[in-house]
């Protein structure tokens, strides 16, 4: 299993009424950016939640960073950062307090200077002492990026990373993804908007009705595949 970043074998997940994912099989060995594309409801977020160990697969098996999705939950949670639709910040706490709380639960020390540097990079250093409840969605996303930078995970899962961001915010998100790519951190990003993520990714996984419609080079997606 050494060197395998992501391996899924017949992975499936069933919600009460329907299968969100069925027979998803793929393998990736390089530390690269993988875009998960497909229309709404095709299973992108479900797949990311399974990779983040927030959901258990109903059937099949898989590994991420060589760690089993069913048996190595704790190890995966230490290595992988998941950024879902909800960002998980406490409204009453300030940006700095939220970051300190997150880092303390990750077992990492984050001093004021490092937090200040990261918030400066994200463009929200002036708001470091403001309650997150006063933040716009875009600012919260910048804060979530700051949290990832501070945490330094070994793999990153981003669910609709460009949603609710303005032009500058999208550029910042792209800059972060490119930075992680250069750092050799595998990034998995789910999006329904292929125009935003295709220029960033090394590989593309296209899902349709919970099954793999295409997995491979983004330049060679067959025209009959619905993005």
Partner 1 sequence: MLFYDPTTYFIDEDDWPMGQRTGGGVNFLHCLFAVCHKDLLSELRKREIVNNILFFSVLIIFIFSFAMGTDPLLLKRLAPGLLWIVVLFSAVLSLERSFQAEAEEGCLDRLVLYTVSHRAVFLGKMVTNFLFIVMVQVIVLFMMMILFDLDWFQNPLLLAAVIFFGDLGIATLGTFYSALITKTRARQVMLPLLLFPMLIPLLLASVCVTQAALEGDVFGQSRPWLILLLLYDTIFFAASLMVSGPLMEA
Interface residues with partner 1 (CB under 8 A) are 52-54, 74, 77-78, 82, 84-93, 97, 101-110, 114, 117-118, 120-127, 130-131, 139, 142, 149-152, 166, 168-169, 171-172, 175, 179, 182
Find the shortest distance in angstroms from Cβ 181 to partner 1. Answer: 11
- Could you tell me the CA-to-CA distances from 43 to 40, 108, 152 in Å, in that order? 8, 33, 27
Instruction: Say if strands 33-37 and 187-191 run parallel, antiparallel, or are unpaired.
Output: parallel
Find the shortest distance in angstroms from Cβ 124 to partner 1. Answer: 4
Which residue's CB is nearer to partner 1, number 19 or number 101?
Answer: 101
Which residue's CB is nearer to partner 1, number 61 or number 75?
Answer: 75
Which residue's CB is nearer to partner 1, number 128 or number 213?
Answer: 128
Find the shortest distance in angstroms from Cβ 80 to partner 1. Answer: 9
> 52 and 65 in contact (C-beta within 8 Å)?
no
Find the shortest distance in angstroms from Cβ 75 to partner 1. Answer: 8
Which residue's CB is nearer to partner 1, number 4 or number 92?
Answer: 92
């Amino acid at each position: 299993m050494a060197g395998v970043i992501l391996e899924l074998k017949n992975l499936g997940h069933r919600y009460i009424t329907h299968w969100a994912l069925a027979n998803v099989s793929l393998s990736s060995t390089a530390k690269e950016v993988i875009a998960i594309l497909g229309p709404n409801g095709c299973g992108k977020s479900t797949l990311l939640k399974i990779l983040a160990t927030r959901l258990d697969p109903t059937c099949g098996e898989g590994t991420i960073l060589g760690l089993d999705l069913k048996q190595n939950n704790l190890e995966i949670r230490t290595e992988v950062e998941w950024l879902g639709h909800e960002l998980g910040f406490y409204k009453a706490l300030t940006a700095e307090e939220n970051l300190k709380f997150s880092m303390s639960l990750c077992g990492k020390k984050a001093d004021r200077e490092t937090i200040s540097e990261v918030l400066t990079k994200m463009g929200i250093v002036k708001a470091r002492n403001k309650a997150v409840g006063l933040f716009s969605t875009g600012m919260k996303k910048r804060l979530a990026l700051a949290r990832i930078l501070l945490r330094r995970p070994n793999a990153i899962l981003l669910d609709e990373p460009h949603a609710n961001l303005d032009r500058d915010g999208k550029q910042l998100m792209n800059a972060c993804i490119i930075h992680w790519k250069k750092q050799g951190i595998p990034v998995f990003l789910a999006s329904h908007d292929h125009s935003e993520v295709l220029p960033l990714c090394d590989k593309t996984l296209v899902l349709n009705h919970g099954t793999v419609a295409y997995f491979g080079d983004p330049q060679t997606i067959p025209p009959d595949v619905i993005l």
